[in-house]
């Protein structure tokens, strides 16, 4: 059995199928771990969700920011944008079934054998990995409850951007969600910076750094993440693996086979989005 971890698919279903074929993925014996953002921007979000849900226990999924935003659109909290290309999914006869399934997926997973952890954006330098696991469960409990719409409505915003164990209610849940699904850079004290989407080479490291470059990051387990297309998977820190290589932006979809650390990549077949 092989364990594969793939970065942000974002509706690039055809590329996903080509990538799985390239790696000889066998759903009867292999595992596919998906680092969030299954949907939006690509043309085939519906096909992607149907396929991943259909893998059953062979697929291990976490939620990304686009997945959470899709749930908010589904619940009437926000309107869909045309460039997210979600109309086919939202009008599908099995939309409610698919999105109720998506709603029940976690924010963070740990592999029971290899002990790596997978998140969408990252783990706060202000947390330990064990603390992050407990905080993820707090959000998941709300998202899995009958009042999940309240969480989706209140998750938007950039404040607070600094962690305090004393935080409660919406602010606490919003900060946790922002770490797991939106974080890229942190200021040197570990607080979150939301505006910068550039690569590290274009950023003043005396002001802010990629979250994984801060010395306080807990590396007691390997960390795998997606979300940050500008990195193109280049993370110069042992034990940290970036998997988003910007397929939907005209680059490629990338997958890591954990057992031998081999990377598989398949180039985008569509014109990049603008």
pLDDT at position 268 is 86
List Cβ neighbours of 121 (8 Å cut-off, separation of 6 or more): 64, 65, 179, 180, 181, 182, 183, 184, 211, 225, 226, 227, 228
Compute the distance between CA of residue 181 and CA of residue 179 in angstroms, rounded to an integer: 6
State yes or no: pLDDT of 273 exceeds 60: no
Q: Domains in the chain and their CATH numbers? A: 3-267 (3.60.21.10)
Do 32 and 6 meet the contact criterion of CB atoms below 8 Å apart?
yes
Do 117 and 223 meet the contact criterion of CB atoms below 8 Å apart?
yes
pLDDT confidence band for 197 (50 / 70 / 90): confident
For residue 240, report the phi and psi dihedrals to the nearest 5 degrees.
-115, 130
State yes or no: pLDDT of 95 exceeds 60: yes
> Which pTM was predicted?
0.96
pLDDT at position 236 is 87
Mean pLDDT of 74-90: 95
State yes or no: pLDDT of 272 exceeds 80: no
- Positive/negative CA dihedral, 199, 200, 201, 205: positive
Do 94 and 45 meet the contact criterion of CB atoms below 8 Å apart?
no
pLDDT digits (tens, 9 = 90+) for 171-185: 999 999 999 999 999
Pairing mode of beta strands 117-119, 223-225: parallel
pLDDT at position 4 is 98
pLDDT digits (tens, 9 = 90+) for 106-152: 999 999 999 999 999 999 999 999 999 999 999 999 999 999 999 99
Mean pLDDT of 222-234: 96
- 224 or 269, greater pLDDT: 224
pLDDT at position 270 is 63
Helices marked H in 104-160: 129-143, 148-154
State yes or no: pLDDT of 271 exceeds 70: no
Mean pLDDT of 247-263: 96
Q: 264: which DSSP letter?
A: E
């Amino acid at each position: 059995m092989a364990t594969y971890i793939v970065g942000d698919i974002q509706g690039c279903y055809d590329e996903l199928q080509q990538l799985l074929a390239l790696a000889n993925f066998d759903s009867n014996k292999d595992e596919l771990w998906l680092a969030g953002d299954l949907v939006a921007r690509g043309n085939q979000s519906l096909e992607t969700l149907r396929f991943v849900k259909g893998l059953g226990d062979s697929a291990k999924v976490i939620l990304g920011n686009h997945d959470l935003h899709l749930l908010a659109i589904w619940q009437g909290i926000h309107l869909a944008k045309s460039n997210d290309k979600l109309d086919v999914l939202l009008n599908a006869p099995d939309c409610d079934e698919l999105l109720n399934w998506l709603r029940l997926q976690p924010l963070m997973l740990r592999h029971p054998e290899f002990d790596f952890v997978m998140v969408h954006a990252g783990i706060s330098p202000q947390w330990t990995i064990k603390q992050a696991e407990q905080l993820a469960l707090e959000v998941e409990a709300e998202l899995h409850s009958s009042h999940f719409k309240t969480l989706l409505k209140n998750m938007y915003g950039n404040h607070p951007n600094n962690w305090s164990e004393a935080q409660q209610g919406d602010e606490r849940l919003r900060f946790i969600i922002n770490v797991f699904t939106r974080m890229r850079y942190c200021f040197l004290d570990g607080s979150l910076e939301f505006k910068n989407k550039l690569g590290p080479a274009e950023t003043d490291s005396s002001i802010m750094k990629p979250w994984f470059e801060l010395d306080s990051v807990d590396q007691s387990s390997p960390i795998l993440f997606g979300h940050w297309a500008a990195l193109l998977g280049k993370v110069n820190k042992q034990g940290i693996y970036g998997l988003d290589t910007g397929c939907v932006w005209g680059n490629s979809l990338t997958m890591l086979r954990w057992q031998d650390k081999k990377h598989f990549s398949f180039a985008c077949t569509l014109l990049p989005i603008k």
